[in-house]
Structure 1
């Protein structure tokens, strides 16, 4: 785990304030950093041992600043196992956040809707996960400085945080659905038969990210909230072909709504600590 310390040493030389909240911004969602006050961007390539993002819609940098009155850091672009990264590289930002003293992590992603009551443009709070990627970033020797050998996964998110967020959104008349997210390796989209199988197993959403980071966050004890933007219905649910361009297009279409939800999510942190 020495590498995480080296990553931290490189980053802190540029910081004047340490972040309290971290955000991972998925496909087409990097625009949220435009809301940061006094932003400071560090390209992933400047951080030793840090992977690089290769997917369209993922710019590949850490952006520090103040958001909704709290010091934050955001990943503009995440890492996916399908890009050729090692599974431990996919989760490495979580341990960098831990080294920086982050206590709350907000993960966003773009997903395909399996639940037939969902529609493109819906925002869903992920309350559970299914690991159909069959990969675990904790494989190998455990470093007890970060967490236990066998972390509990019975509650993957901080439900107290979600409760406050739901209350705020209800007052703001913003709909937030809840569901279970299924991780697949990608990069090909799923087949209709696979989607039917995932639906049988209880999945409401499907995507190619997030689960490794969730496992790592649970391992090192960072409070977690996951918000998913349904950018398309999964294969076979509707008679439409799937393209990444449509994913980014839908994410851009709901910018105001998603920005408002994320703002409320960060503001909710203050209430959970009172």
Structure 2
């Protein structure tokens, strides 16, 4: 057994010992969006610090907990927060929770994030359905020896974001009267916000939003054969489109739109 498989065995054994049974959906909740996990029924909450081989998230707006239970009639395991490449973690550490979810038998994940709007039609507070992504982090979590029984050496990314889940999200938005933008998410390494020149480049390359997460997680999800729904909260306009950028604005905007976000995810889960 490889080191990764041994670690995953220890992690999943620990979680099952905490009462985790069948899980359908994994939820990765980004900056300011973790409150959704508080609506999980019959919750089992576990701090990241307790979980074998998990790291810690030190970013404001990330609670650093796993929460298991029922949401919208589905068995879910939610991450309140995530690990970021810019914190000094390897891509393998960043994506370990996705490996863990696949090892638990989860078939689908919902990834969410706070993002900067690049599309000039977007406004702060918009929610964006992620239809595709551009990996501009300069790294890839699959570099190195491939675990063939976990996924193929060269995974296809043509449909990394599951089409019928996108349709479910659009139907949920229409049902709830929520304006749901659609677009391409471009992942940078961070921790600096992008320069105005980089945002002009991103727009030219076809990006609608930019951020510092999600891309690596979705690559590993595709490698693991998981279905994916991605939603960005557009918390601000990107560099050069407004006077300045700061993390406080990110948290403030997610606070303002959290009810819409929670309703969209819950209704979509119900429809999936």
Give the TM-score normalised by structure 1.
0.96
Name the residue aligned to 2:190.
186
Structure 1 residue runs of 4 or more that deviate by more than 6 Å after TM superposition: none
Name the residue aligned to 1:221.
225
Name the residue aligned to 2:267.
264
The Cα of 1:17 is off from its aligned counterpart by: 2.8
The Cα of 1:172 is off from its aligned counterpart by: 2.7
d(CA) in 1 for partners of 2:30, 2:52: 23
**How many pairs does the alignment contain?**
268
Deviations 1:226-272 (A, max 9, x none): 0000000000012x211101000000000111111111221121xxx
Superposition pairs of residues 1-274 of structure 1, within 5 angstroms: 1-2=4-5, 3-238=7-242, 240-269=243-272
Q: What are structure 1's unaligned runs of at least 5 residues?
A: 270-274
d(CA) in 1 for partners of 2:189, 2:249: 20
Which segment is superposed worse, 162-171 or 149-158? 162-171
d(CA) in 2 for partners of 1:146, 1:162: 25
The Cα of 1:165 is off from its aligned counterpart by: 2.3
d(CA) in 1 for partners of 2:221, 2:169: 20
Aligned to 1:91, the other structure's residue is in SS state helix
The Cα of 1:16 is off from its aligned counterpart by: 4.8
d(CA) in 2 for partners of 1:166, 1:210: 20
Query: Are the counterparts in 1 of residues 176 and 263 from structure 2 also a CA contact under 8 Å?
Result: no
Q: What are structure 2's unaligned runs of at least 5 residues?
A: none
Query: What is the aligned-residue RMSD (CA, Å)?
Result: 0.9
Deviations 1:171-227 (A, max 9, x none): 332211110001111111111011111111111000000000010000001110000
Give the TM-score normalised by structure 2.
0.96
Aligned to 1:121, the other structure's residue is in SS state coil
